[in-house]
Amino acid sequence: MSREVKERFVRIAGKYDFMNHFLSMGVDRKWREEAAREAMLNKRSFTVLDSATGTGDLAFAVYDLAKARGKSVRIIGTDFVKEMLDLAVGKARDSGRKIDFRIGDSLKTGFKGGTFDVITTGFSLRNFDSVERFLAESHRILKHGGRLVILEMAMPDDPWQRTKFHLYSYFIRFASIFSDRAYTWLVESISEFDKHALVKSAKATGFKRIRIRSLPSGIAYLLVAEK
């Protein structure tokens, strides 16, 4: 990961959760719940890696749903920004959730091949130096038949949704004046990210049964693929 990306997240770590909920008007919670549903397997017990976990909200969503469905799940959450990870650890401790948070690089995890049943990641791909390297590493450490669940944001395909996004971008830029100008990067990265190229890269990496669907608001989407 680049030094610029790390410094950006170090700077906004303390306000990251608040700004996510504020800028999405709370819809980001629903997005994570949808991602968690895709992460559920027809198995009593399974292992999950939440890659680029940030402050842990997606890992918590997976943990809560697994427990609600009576499943035994082991979750490891990794991130390369200690300040974000410290917040995740504190939230897990305060809530009593048993999640193993640790420093780690999503592009070079250090895990053995075939370690995980599921890999999840939320709003991370736009920060990676190489999406292709992330996909290759995820494919390597997933078990045969394992599942990759990506929650991300990109420009909507629908013309009306695109218009709404452009209007929304003005709100984000205005809000950034009072929070952190790093959030103007949010608009730029969403505009530039190509979700259709992501599907092609996933296929080229060897993933199968790839599904992609938009979530409420049109700006967020889920990509689900299997090894």
pLDDT digits (tens, 9 = 90+) for 76-112: 999 998 998 999 999 999 999 999 999 999 999 999 9
**pTM recorded for the entire structure:** 0.85
pLDDT top residue among 12 and 62: 62
pLDDT top residue among 157 and 38: 38
Domains of the chain: 3-226 (3.40.50.150)
pLDDT value of position 23: 54
Q: Is 18's pLDDT higher than 60?
A: no
pLDDT value of position 10: 46
CA distance between the termini of the chain: 25
- Residues present in the chain in total: 227
CB 79 within 8 A of CB 147: no
pLDDT value of position 30: 92
pLDDT in tens, 116-147: 999 999 999 988 989 999 999 999 999 999 99
As a whole-number percent, the residues of the chain with pLDDT over 90 amount to 61
CA–CA dist 122, 17 (Å, integer):
13
Predicted confidence band of residue 216 (pLDDT cuts 50, 70, 90): confident
Q: Is 20's pLDDT higher than 70?
A: no
Q: Is 197's pLDDT higher than 90?
A: yes
The whole-chain average pLDDT of the chain stands at 85
In Å, how far are 19, 70, 86, 105 from 79, measured between CA atoms? 19, 28, 10, 6
Most confident of 4-18, 58-72, 180-194: 58-72
Predicted confidence band of residue 167 (pLDDT cuts 50, 70, 90): low
Predicted confidence band of residue 13 (pLDDT cuts 50, 70, 90): very low
List all residues 6 or more positions away from 50 whose beta carbon is below 8 Å from its beta carbon.
56, 58, 59, 62, 75, 76, 77, 78, 119, 120, 121, 122
